[in-house]
């Protein structure tokens, strides 16, 4: 059995618009496919209980041969090829201005 981080994507809709959520959950399973199956079952429950839609998109990442996850264990990694310069890449994929996040200085 290995540990896997599985990322699932959800759509939240409200009168004010649409938001997307990426959730990464940890699963112990014999294979990536089994981890995804476990995560998708949980994703359907999460979506139903939260009133959101699971978009049927899941990606898994095997944590490696570290045994039980501990502080600092990498739980998900994804490489994406891009010709964008670093600042433009971050703006395009991670800091569009539409994220719901709090800055560290906001307390």
Report d(CA 91, CA 18) in Å as an integer. Answer: 19
d(C-alpha 69, C-alpha 24), whole Å: 14
Q: Please count the other Cβ atoms lying within 10 Å of the Cβ belonging to residue 47.
A: 18
pLDDT score of 56 more than 60: yes
Which range among 3-12, 26-35, 70-79, 94-103 shows the weakest confidence by mean pLDDT?
94-103
The pLDDT of residue 17:
82
Tokens for 70? Answer: 């501990």
Per-domain residue ranges of the chain: 1-65
> For residue 106, what pLDDT band results from cuts at 50, 70 and 90?
low
What mean pLDDT comes out for the span 34-63? 95
Residue 107 to residue 89: CA distance in whole angstroms: 27
Give the per-residue pLDDT at 67: 67
């Amino acid at each position: 059995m290995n540990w896997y981080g599985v990322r699932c994507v959800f759509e939240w809709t409200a009168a004010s618009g649409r938001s997307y959520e990426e959730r990464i959950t940890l699963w112990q399973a014999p294979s990536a496919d089994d981890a995804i199956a476990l995560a998708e079952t949980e994703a359907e429950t999460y979506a139903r209980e939260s009133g959101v839609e699971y978009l049927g998109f899941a990606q898994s990442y095997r944590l490696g041969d570290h045994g039980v996850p501990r502080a600092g264990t990498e739980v998900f990694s994804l490489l994406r090829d891009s010709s964008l310069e670093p600042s433009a890449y971050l703006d395009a994929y991670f800091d569009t201005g539409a994220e719901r996040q709090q800055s560290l200085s906001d307390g």
